């Protein structure tokens, strides 16, 4: 069995691309699949050229690249040829299309848990600092819509435009990893600015009552040290011992990943591996692309189900909080959902 994928082993998404490559390496090792990985460097042209070649060569399983932009470039080519593209690395709500088999929960749901927590804490205001691009826009719009449904005063501001007076309520940050980290550093620093102790001057601005960032879902966010403490983040995967219908449990995958790589897997690695297991299972069952929206199953990532528009509706994001230098699943406060789910 042959499979192929482009991943950003260099370029703007190298951190996530390397994680995904390691997750797929474990999947290929454990299943005996012959996996070809090409470094797309974040280039749409490189990615589309590679997938076009694999279509011509009749490669059985085509796994998608990382990032919504690259998935947007590749999906029309692969899906237009009648071949499913197993998408693990793009979660933009606009990506859904026939033939694109998406495992991640949609971007618009990324901050559901953080918004519910803000509502439970009864913060007066919620700001979403959004970077550029369709993914950030979908995350921000979803967060504002959920906050409004809770009755919170919510709005979106441009990334990097937050002022000290904006930081008193809840702040959620979505951009590229480095942008999120810079914004969190800034917001954490707000509570330490102002005049030196005992000297005249304006009062020190407070930090946010609640702070969340998409980047907080990656282990590398912990390199912020004390600035990471208490920050909420979305993860597409949290390891459990639950045995899924397809592939290993999350706990077994994590153990295998530690053996192969030497450290804990990120959700990026897990969702890539889950896509591999799902693609291989579908091939073994003889499922054609048109059969996939009716398929209900589960993987190490969680439940899998596509609706009629090919939008992932089975899987949900988990919200974590950084505590004592590690990620811990957030336990929702009683009534935090407010009947929204």
**pLDDT at 190 (0 to 100):** 65
CA 195/CA 199 separation, integer angstroms: 6
Same-domain status, 213 and 157 = yes
Q: How confident is the model at residue 165 (pLDDT cuts 50, 70, 90)?
A: low
**pLDDT at 188 (0 to 100):** 86
**pLDDT at 11 (0 to 100):** 94
Q: Work out the average pLDDT over 261-284.
A: 96
pLDDT of 335 above 70: no
DSSP state of 47: H
**pLDDT at 160 (0 to 100):** 74
50-78 confidence digits (pLDDT tens): 999 999 999 999 999 999 999 999 999 99
Q: How confident is the model at residue 42 (pLDDT cuts 50, 70, 90)?
A: very high
DSSP string, 10-25: SSTTHHHHHHHHHHHH
Q: Does any domain span residue 336? A: no
Q: Which range of residues forms the domain containing residue 135? A: 109-194+201-235+320-329
Q: Work out the average pLDDT over 251-273.
A: 96
Q: Does any domain span residue 154? A: yes
Same-domain status, 221 and 139 = yes
Same-domain status, 271 and 165 = no
Q: Work out the average pLDDT over 234-257.
A: 96
Same-domain status, 88 and 116 = no
Which of 168-177, 198-207, 232-241, 329-338 is predicted with the least confidence, judged by mean pLDDT?
Answer: 198-207
Question: Are 87 and 102 in contact, with CB atoms under 8 Å apart?
Answer: yes
**pLDDT at 322 (0 to 100):** 97
Same-domain status, 51 and 130 = no
Same-domain status, 189 and 325 = yes
**pLDDT at 264 (0 to 100):** 93
CA 209/CA 163 separation, integer angstroms: 15
Same-domain status, 206 and 324 = yes
Q: Does any domain span residue 339? A: no
Q: How confident is the model at residue 334 (pLDDT cuts 50, 70, 90)?
A: low
Same-domain status, 222 and 245 = no
Q: Does any domain span residue 335? A: no
Question: CATH number for the domain including 121?
Answer: 3.40.50.2300
**pLDDT at 195 (0 to 100):** 36
Q: Work out the average pLDDT over 330-338.
A: 72
Same-domain status, 117 and 213 = yes
pLDDT of 97 above 80: yes
Q: How confident is the model at residue 161 (pLDDT cuts 50, 70, 90)?
A: confident
Same-domain status, 205 and 324 = yes
Residue 172 pairs in a beta bridge with 128, 212
Average of per-residue pLDDT values in the chain: 91
Same-domain status, 187 and 324 = yes
The token pair that represents 11 in the structure block: 């370029």
Number of domains in the chain: 2
- In the sheet with 34-39, reading across from the earlier edge strand, the strands are 34-39, 2-7, 61-62
Question: Are 49 and 63 in contact, with CB atoms under 8 Å apart?
Answer: no
Q: Work out the average pLDDT over 101-121.
A: 96
């Amino acid at each position: 069995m042959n499979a192929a994928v482009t991943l950003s082993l260099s370029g703007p998404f190298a951190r996530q691309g390397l994680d995904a490559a390691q997750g797929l390496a474990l999947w290929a090792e454990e299943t005996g699949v012959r996996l070809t990985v090409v470094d797309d460097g974040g280039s749409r042209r490189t990615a589309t050229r590679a997938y076009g070649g694999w279509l011509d060569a009749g490669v059985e399983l085509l796994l998608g690249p990382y990032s919504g932009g690259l998935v947007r470039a590749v999906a029309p080519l692969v899906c237009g040829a009648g071949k499913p593209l197993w998408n693990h690395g793009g979660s933009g709500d606009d990506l859904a299309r026939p033939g694109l088999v998406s495992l991640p929960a949609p971007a618009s749901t990324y901050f559901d848990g953080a918004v519910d927590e803000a509502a439970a804490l009864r913060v007066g205001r919620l700001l979403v600092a959004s970077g550029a691009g369709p993914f950030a826009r979908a995350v921000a719009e979803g967060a504002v819509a959920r906050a409004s449904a809770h009755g919170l005063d919510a709005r979106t501001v441009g990334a990097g435009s937050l002022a000290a007076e904006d930081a008193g309520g809840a702040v959620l940050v979505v951009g590229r990893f480095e942008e999120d980290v810079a914004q969190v550093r800034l917001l954490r620093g707000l509570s330490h600015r102002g005049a030196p102790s005992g000297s005249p001057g304006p009062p020190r601005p407070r930090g946010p009552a609640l702070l969340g960032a998409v980047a907080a879902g990656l282990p590398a966010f912990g390199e912020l040290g004390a600035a990471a403490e208490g920050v909420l983040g979305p993860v597409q995967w949290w390891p459990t011992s639950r045995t899924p219908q397809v592939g290993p449990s999350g706990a077994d995958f994590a153990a295998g990943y530690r053996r192969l790589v030497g450290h804990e897997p990120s959700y990026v690695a897990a969702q890539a591996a889950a896509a591999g297991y799902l693609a291989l299972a579908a091939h073994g069952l003889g499922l054609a692309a048109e059969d996939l929206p009716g398929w209900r199953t589960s993987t190490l990532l969680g439940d899998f189900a596509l609706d009629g528009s090919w939008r992932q509706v089975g899987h949900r994001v988990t919200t974590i909080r950084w505590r004592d230098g590690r990620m811990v699943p957030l336990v929702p406060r009683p009534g935090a959902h407010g009947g929204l789910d």
